Every structure is written in structure tokens, then in C-alpha cells.
Amino acid sequence: MWLLAGHVTVEDLDDLLATLNDVAEETVTTVQAFDADYVVSEEHLERALARADRAIARGENVARERAVEVLCYAAGRRQINRALAMGVAAGENRVVLLVDSPAGDEAAEAEAVEALREHVDEAPVLGEYDETAVREFFDIGDAELEAVEGDLVDLVLERVALLDVEK
């Protein structure tokens, strides 16, 4: 898995999504864009990818496309339309692009990342999440934060893991 993070200005969301899809098809990789405000760590996306792959292998996936299944797990939601809120939107975006080859082809991943670089003004935005947005999106209140030994990142990772239990 490779992550490409930075800033993207989206003038036409359909055009951006078509570009991501074209790169994915040309390199036989999975490409998914995330709003960096909701991505708490690299581990967040690693776990989402692993859980999505496991669901697909078991035939328990809710999405037809691997990229959308990864998005659902990262969002901790089975409903695709609700998970899409974690994606990018028109306008200025802080973005994290996940690129992964289901076949483990690192050369294909590198090729995809290289093709995507022209669309991203790279910057270290991964892990610089919006705490208020994350807490609201994942429905994490003060009481829950005070009741656990971990922090907000730990609770988000738990939401990713709990999605399997909620099926």
C-alpha cells in the first residue's frame, strides 16, 4: 500500500473520480481518495484495507468495487452513501490517496502513484486530522473518550475493527 498526501483543488468531482479510476484501471491497482480531515493515521487506512480484503475474500463485502469497500471500512460504515462523506468534494481538499495492488505488485503501485502526483500538491497532511470532524463523524463523545484507556486514534481504529462485528 502506498499513500500520497497533500492538497487537491477539485473543480469537477466527476473528472477527478474518472482520473482516479483511469489510473487504477491502467495500473491494475485500487485507488481511493480520502478527506485527510477524517484520516487519523496510516494505520487507519492499513486496517481498513486489510478488513476490506478479508470481507471480499469471504464474500461478505457490501461494495462491488474494492476501493469503495476500503472506504466503507475506513469510515466504519456499511452504508456506502454515508461512507462517501469521508471522500473528497468539490473545492479545496486536504487529501490522502491510497494506492494498492491486490496482487502485491509494487511496480504497479509506484506507477499509479507517479501518475497521480501531477494531480496532488504533496504535503504532510496525513495524521493532521480535524478532531471535531472525526469525533462527529465517528460519533465519539466526551464520555466515551474519558471511559477508555486509549485516545481518539484508538477509538477510530476500534470503529474500523467493529464493522466486522456489526454485520
> pLDDT by residue (tens digit) across 97-149?
999 999 999 999 999 999 999 999 999 999 899 999 999 998 888 887 777 77
More confident residue, 117 or 153: 117
Domain ranges of the chain: 2-165
Q: Work out the end-to-end distance of the chain between its first and last CA atoms, rounded to an integer number of angstroms.
A: 26
Using H for helix, E for strand and C for coil, what is the string for 137-152? HCCCCHHHHHHCCCCH
Distance CA 68, CA 65 (A): 5
Distance CA 11, CA 31 (A): 19
The amino acid occupying position 133 is: A
Share of the chain above pLDDT 70, in %: 98
- What per-residue confidence (pLDDT) applies to 35? 95
Q: Could you say which architecture CATH assigns to the domain 2-165?
A: 2-Layer Sandwich (3.30)
